[in-house]
Amino acid sequence: MQFRDLKKQYQVLKDRIDPAVIEVMTGANFIHGPQVGELEQQLADYTGTAHCVTCGNGTDALYLAMLVWQVKETDAVFVPDFTFFSSGEIVALAGATPIFVDVDQDTYNIDPAKLEEQVEKVIADGELTPKAVVAVDLFGLPADIKAVRKIADKYGMYLLEDAAQGFAGEIEGKKACSFGDISATSFFPAKPLGCYGDGGAVFTDNDEWAALLRSYCVHGKGSNKYDNIRLGVNSRLDTIQAAVLKVKLEALAEYELRDVNKAAEKYTAALEGVVKTPVIPDGMYSSWAQYTIQLPDRETRDGLQAHLKDNGVPAMIYYQKPMHRQDAFSETKHLYRDEDFEVTNRLCETVLSLPMHPYITDEDIEQVTGLIKAYVK
């Protein structure tokens, strides 16, 4: 069994993907071919945003937002403690100070009450200025944007939506990638919308920022690539990836999003009362980058993972280590007390992500849930 079956997806979409890729190779427009602009328009339309700027990967997409906002060392950027490394890495790499915030044990997303506590603490300490908050849509579920937006507005902070895992999720009919002042996503192959290599995109309704993003991702270009008016990076989505993504975006909208939600319903129906299943708050819709359960303790979790593996079922631990304990952030370790991250510390010991993708069969779900029921009871 595959954790995320990209081979099966390719077999289903092969008749559409192969000619699209061959068209790029025939035209030899490998960089900035017409498919890139077409995809950007389709992504903006799909997410309901004014501007989409594609780039090299999801980490760059987040980093580009830091460049646009010109963050500096005395700026605090609030980041959930339970997420992939990039969400905090880009803050420190841009020279600002990441301040980690514990998450909600049901949604895995940033806890708005704890966010406000951390902002107040930063203000009281008087060394840093609250500048931005990174709201991560973890495992496909949008962050609690209403509450986070209120806090961002109250303290004059920008909101960066890290929708690397959240593409196609919804809050009350509004699509992910439209919730931030700037939003970023990743097209890493295993994400809800994945390409055949690395890729990413940035979204915003702000015309001025969109122009800055287009400059920063091409060496800080002015009127052209050889007129450089600021320092930037070289980060772009190549045309082959854009051609692949155009097909995959259609498939996601046509049936994949629906089918992955059906799979989630089946998992939850079989596992409810056996283990802690994912919670989807009212009005929210997940794109299920992961289907993640919680076990009572580390021993049970690790034992179950091994038991599944012995039976040919891959299950993964996202994430093993809280952000505040990563050595890469050791410079800011004095800012934290381990007990301020009670939920994240526990989640890192108890979570387990199960095989999940739009092409998973009922038989696979029955096998996985059968093994879990037998092990846990």
Ligand X SMILES: *Cc1c(COP(=O)(O)O)cnc(C)c1O
The residues of the shown chain that bind ligand X, judged by CB under 6 A, are: 57-59, 83-84, 86-87, 136, 162, 164-165, 186, 188, 198, 200
- Nearer of residues 29 and 204 to ligand X, judged by Cβ: 204
DSSP state of 142: P
The tokens for 93 are 């790499």
- Nearer of residues 84 and 158 to ligand X, judged by Cβ: 84
- Nearer of residues 99 and 164 to ligand X, judged by Cβ: 164
Question: In the complex, which residue's CB is closest to ligand X?
Answer: 58
- Nearer of residues 155 and 318 to ligand X, judged by Cβ: 318
- Nearer of residues 165 and 294 to ligand X, judged by Cβ: 165
- Nearer of residues 83 and 369 to ligand X, judged by Cβ: 83
How far is 210 from 64, CA to CA, in rounded Å? 10
Minimum distance from residue 291 beta carbon to ligand X (Å):
15
How far is 176 from 184, CA to CA, in rounded Å? 10
Minimum distance from residue 177 beta carbon to ligand X (Å):
13
What order of strands is seen across the sheet that includes strand 158-162? 51-55, 200-204, 182-186, 158-162, 129-136, 75-80, 97-101
Angle at the Cα of 79 from the Cα atoms of 294 and 178, rounded to 5 degrees: 90
HSE-CB of 348 using CA atoms within 13 angstroms: 18
Minimum distance from residue 289 beta carbon to ligand X (Å):
7
Minimum distance from residue 331 beta carbon to ligand X (Å):
21
- Tell me whether the omega of the peptide bond preceding residue 226 falls within 30 degrees of 0, making it cis: no
Minimum distance from residue 130 beta carbon to ligand X (Å):
21
Residue pair 50/210 in contact by the 8 Å Cβ criterion: yes
Minimum distance from residue 344 beta carbon to ligand X (Å):
14
Residue pair 144/166 in contact by the 8 Å Cβ criterion: no
Minimum distance from residue 188 beta carbon to ligand X (Å):
4
Minimum distance from residue 84 beta carbon to ligand X (Å):
4
DSSP notation for 218-247: BTTBSSSTTSB-S---B----HHHHHHHHH
- Nearer of residues 35 and 186 to ligand X, judged by Cβ: 186
Which residues are bridge partners to 54 per DSSP? 201
Residue pair 216/232 in contact by the 8 Å Cβ criterion: yes
How far is 73 from 66, CA to CA, in rounded Å? 12
Helices (H), the chain: 6-27, 34-47, 58-68, 86-93, 112-125, 145-154, 207-216, 239-251, 257-271, 298-310, 342-350, 362-376
- Nearer of residues 143 and 304 to ligand X, judged by Cβ: 143
Minimum distance from residue 229 beta carbon to ligand X (Å):
26
Minimum distance from residue 376 beta carbon to ligand X (Å):
28
* Cα–chain center distance at 113: 22
Strands 291-294 and 200-204: unpaired
How far is 134 from 276, CA to CA, in rounded Å? 26
